[in-house]
Each structure stands twice: as structure tokens, then as C-alpha cells.
């Protein structure tokens, strides 16, 4: 990643213009030719910097109003293998290892589950529990009760 | 939400080719015109069904971010949430059901910028902020499998 790649990320993080030739606009804003922007993005896609390219639905607007952050206390020496299995589930939108803060916060695996209602979030949580088995020493579902702010990633270069 | 909308959301969360006319590529696969695709995407974006169209970047590719949590007394929640949301560096802020009831994401160009925002929030509110940065990412991001009903 060089400065031009970073400029492309900044220019496209809020989405592509819905115009006939959207990369022309991106190219103009970063001072490259459209073909160069596309080549660089192709490389970022191959290297994994870009995970996917396509439409990004808003779960909430599409009826997935229950958003449960499930948090798990699993042994550190098993978290990578277990995390990868849970992270592959299609109802999990984020799955991260994060630090514990004892004694306030014993959980080290965070898996965001989206559902149309609490019942479906709970069903999905049980599916995660089946995968984790005895490794899940404790877990919680933290539902969001209010969205106080939500905007796309907005970094300036 | 008509059939074209559903087909676009189901079929094009990934794999939209990086070409000069991406909407023409979608249109060709769906057997509709490029204008129809662009028009439908505009409507979906306006009514909020789509956040955006484009690349989804790996976290912390450009800049740094962290998840942060605070335990706020209920009668102070409005005020503290407003202080937190007022930072441009905070792009998500949720109230959640737990003693730690305010959860937000801080994003800045580097880790020092993130740390500074956390310290500013602690200073302004007098409440400790739990910093929970990502240590490892396990999510295989293939898009979201929506169940239409």
C-alpha cells in the first residue's frame, strides 16, 4: 500500500458514484487515470486489502432490526481455531478476538449476529454455542437498544 | 423492493468486476439495461436499503480503529452519548443492554489519534473508557445472506 492506494481507499470508502463511469470520478479526485485506479484496486483485492466489491446492504433497513453483539470467554490457546469456524457462519457479520479487561470484562471473542428479532439472534447464538462447546466458559448477548450514531468510515488522508 | 432489487442484493454483494463500467457488467448478467441498474441502485441508496456500492476494505487498512465501551449511569447517558457522538472520529455509537452500556468505534489515521480521542472522552466525561482493539479478525466476509419474506 502506498500513498496513492491510500488515496483510493479514502476516495471510495463512502461508496462509488452511481454514474456510468464511476472510476472516472475516483481517478480525477486522486489524480490518476481510471485504468490505474482499477489496476490498483485489482491488486488490493488480490492481496486481501479489499475483501469484496459490490453492494453493501443496510441490515437494519432491510428488516434485520435485532443486532446482538455476542461475547464469549474462550481459552486463549483455542481462540484462533474456534474464531475461524464461527467467523465463517453466514449470520455473523463481524468476528474478532479482543482483549479481556479483568475483572470488568472477561470476554475475548466478539461475534456480531444480525436477525429479524431477538428469537432469531438467540437461535444463532445457540448455533455458535454448539461450535464452541465446552470452550465457551461464559457468554452474553448485548443487544443494541439504540443507535446513537452510525456513519460510514470517514477518514481523511 | 422488486425482483431486480432482490437480485442485485442477493447476487452482487461481492464479485462486481473492477471495470470502467461496473453497472453495465451487472446489467448484462441480469438481462436489464445499465440505466435500469443505476436507477434501481439510486433508489435503494436513497431509501436506505443500501449503505453504498463499492469496495469493502479490511479493517485497519488505512487508519486505526478500536471498539470502546463505557459504563454510564442511566441519567447521564444522553449527555455522555452526545459528547461521544460529537467526535468526528466516532463513526458508530450504540446503547447496549449491559452495565457497560455505551459502545462505540473510534477511527483515526493512527493509533495515537485513537488514544487521544479516548483520553479526551475520559477527560470530558470523567468516566473510564475500556479500549478493546481488534487482536485478530476471523470473519470470512462473503456478504450477508438475506432471507426475504
Q: What is the pLDDT of residues A59-73, one digit of tens each?
A: 888 888 888 999 999
pLDDT attached to residue B59:
80
Q: Which residues contact A28 (CB under 8 A, 6 or more apart)?
A: none
The alpha-carbon gap from A117 to the nearest alpha carbon of chain B, in Å, equals 13
DSSP A78: G
Q: Looking at the domain assignment, is residue B148 inside a domain?
A: no
pLDDT attached to residue A152:
58
Please check whether residue A137 touches B, CB under 8 A. Answer: no
Please check whether residue A30 touches B, CB under 8 A. Answer: no
Nearest CA to A9 out of A37, A36, A34 is that of A37
Peptide bond into A103 cis (omega under 30): yes
pLDDT attached to residue A89:
92
Please check whether residue A24 touches B, CB under 8 A. Answer: yes
Q: Looking at the domain assignment, is residue B99 inside a domain?
A: yes
Cell 453495465 belongs to B24
Cα(B66)–Cα(B14) distance, rounded to whole angstroms? 26
* Structural domains in chain B (count): 2
CB B24 within 8 A of CB B34: yes
Task: Say if residue A116's pLDDT is above 70.
Answer: yes
Give the domains, in start order, of chain A with CATH numbers. Answer: 3-47 (1.10.10), 66-143 (3.30.70.920)
State mean pLDDT over B76-82: 96
Cα angle: A90, vertex A93, A95; to 5 degrees: 105
CB spacing of B56 vs A50 below 8 angstroms: yes
Nearest CA to A60 out of A154, A144, A141 is that of A144
Peptide bond into A110 cis (omega under 30): no
The residue ranking higher by pLDDT, B149 or B118, is: B118
Do residue B40 and residue B79 come from a single domain?
A: no
Closest Cβ opposite residue A58 in set B50, B95, B140: B50
Question: Average pLDDT of chain B?
Answer: 92
Q: Looking at the domain assignment, is residue B125 inside a domain?
A: yes
pLDDT attached to residue A69:
95
CATH number where B112 lies:
3.30.70.3460
Do residue B125 and residue B69 come from a single domain?
A: yes
CB spacing of B134 vs A84 below 8 angstroms: no
Cα(A138)–Cα(A153) distance, rounded to whole angstroms? 32
The residue ranking higher by pLDDT, B62 or B88, is: B88
CB spacing of B15 vs A53 below 8 angstroms: yes
Cα(A34)–Cα(A36) distance, rounded to whole angstroms? 5
The pLDDT confidence band at residue A18, using thresholds 50, 70 and 90, is: very high
Nearest CA to B63 out of A36, A110, A152 is that of A152
State mean pLDDT over A46-69: 90
Task: Say if residue B68's pLDDT is above 60.
Answer: yes
pLDDT attached to residue A66:
86
Cell 428488516 belongs to A63
Q: Looking at the domain assignment, is residue B108 inside a domain?
A: yes
Do residue B19 and residue B69 come from a single domain?
A: no
Do residue B33 and residue B75 come from a single domain?
A: no
Judging contacts by C-beta atoms under 8 Å, the chain B residues touching residue A33 are none
Q: What percent of chain B has pLDDT over 90?
A: 83
Closest Cβ opposite residue A147 in set B52, B94, B140: B94
Closest Cβ opposite residue A56 in set B56, B84, B147: B56
State mean pLDDT over A119-130: 97
pLDDT attached to residue B78:
95
Question: Average pLDDT of chain A?
Answer: 92
Cα(B71)–Cα(B37) distance, rounded to whole angstroms? 46
Do residue B85 and residue B126 come from a single domain?
A: yes
Cell numbers found for residue B99 = 452495565
pLDDT attached to residue A157:
39
Closest Cβ opposite residue B12 in set A55, A62, A95: A55
Nearest CA to B57 out of A17, A18, A15 is that of A15
A3 by DSSP, 3-state: which? Answer: helix
State mean pLDDT over B79-90: 95
- Which ipTM was obtained for this model? 0.82
What is the chain A residue with the closest CA to B63? Answer: A155
Cell numbers found for residue B28 = 448484462
Do residue B73 and residue B30 come from a single domain?
A: no
Convert the pLDDT of each residue in B3-61 to its tens digit: 999 999 999 999 999 999 999 999 999 999 999 999 999 999 999 999 999 999 888 87
**One-character DSSP codes across B121-140:** HHHHH----EEE--SEE---
Do residue B118 and residue B76 come from a single domain?
A: yes
DSSP A106: -
What is the chain A residue with the closest CA to B108? Answer: A155
Boundaries of domain holding B38: 3-46
Do residue B74 and residue B111 come from a single domain?
A: yes
Do residue B17 and residue B68 come from a single domain?
A: no
Amino acid at each position: 500500500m502506498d500513498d496513492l492506494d491510500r488515496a483510493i481507499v479514502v476516495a471510495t470508502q463512502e461508496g462509488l458514484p452511481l454514474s456510468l463511469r464511476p472510476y472516472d470520478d475516483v481517478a480525477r479526485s486522486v489524480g490518476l487515470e481510471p485504468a490505474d485506479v482499477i489496476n490498483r484496486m485489482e491488486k488490493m483485492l488480490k492481496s486481501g486489502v479489499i475483501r469484496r466489491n459490490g453492494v453493501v446492504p443496510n441490515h437494519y433497513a432491510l428488516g434485520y432490526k435485532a443486532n446482538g453483539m455476542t461475547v464469549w470467554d474462550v481459552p486463549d490457546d483455542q481462540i484462533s481455531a474456534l474464531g475461524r469456524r464461527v467467523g465463517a457462519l453466514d449470520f455473523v457479520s463481524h468476528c474478532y478476538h479482543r482483549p479481556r479487561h479483568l475483572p470488568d470484562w472477561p470476554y475475548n471473542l466478539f461475534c456480531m449476529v444480525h436477525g429479524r428479532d431477538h428469537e432469531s439472534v438467540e437461535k444463532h447464538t445457540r448455533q455458535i454455542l454448539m461450535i464452541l462447546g465446552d470452550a465457551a466458559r461464559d457468554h452474553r448477548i448485548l443487544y443494541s437498544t439504540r443507535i446513537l450514531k452510525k456513519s460510514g468510515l470517514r477518514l481523511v488522508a | 423492493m422488486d425482483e431486480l432489487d432482490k437480485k442485485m442484493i442477493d447476487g452482487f454483494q461481492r464479485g462486481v468486476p473492477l471495470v470502467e463500467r461496473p453497472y453495465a457488467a451487472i446489467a448484462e448478467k441480469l438481462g436489464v439495461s445499465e440505466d435500469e441498474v443505476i436507477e434501481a441502485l439510486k433508489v435503494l441508496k436513497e431509501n436506505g436499503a443500501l449503505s453504498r456500492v463499492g469496495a469493502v476494505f479490511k479493517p485497519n487498512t488505512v487508519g486505526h480503529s478500536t471498539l470502546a465501551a463505557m459504563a454510564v449511569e442511566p441519567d447521564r447517558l444522553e449527555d455522555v452519548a452526545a459528547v461521544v457522538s460529537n467526535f468526528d472520529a466516532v463513526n458508530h455509537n450504540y446503547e447496549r443492554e449491559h452495565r457497560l452500556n455505551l459502545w462505540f468505534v473510534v477511527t483515526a489515521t493512527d493509533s495515537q489519534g485513537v488514544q487521544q480521542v479516548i483520553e479526551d472522552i475520559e477527560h470530558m466525561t470523567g468516566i473510564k473508557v475500556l479500549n478493546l482493539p481488534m487482536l485478530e479478525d476471523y470473519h470470512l466476509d462473503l456478504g450477508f445472506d438475506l432471507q426475504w419474506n
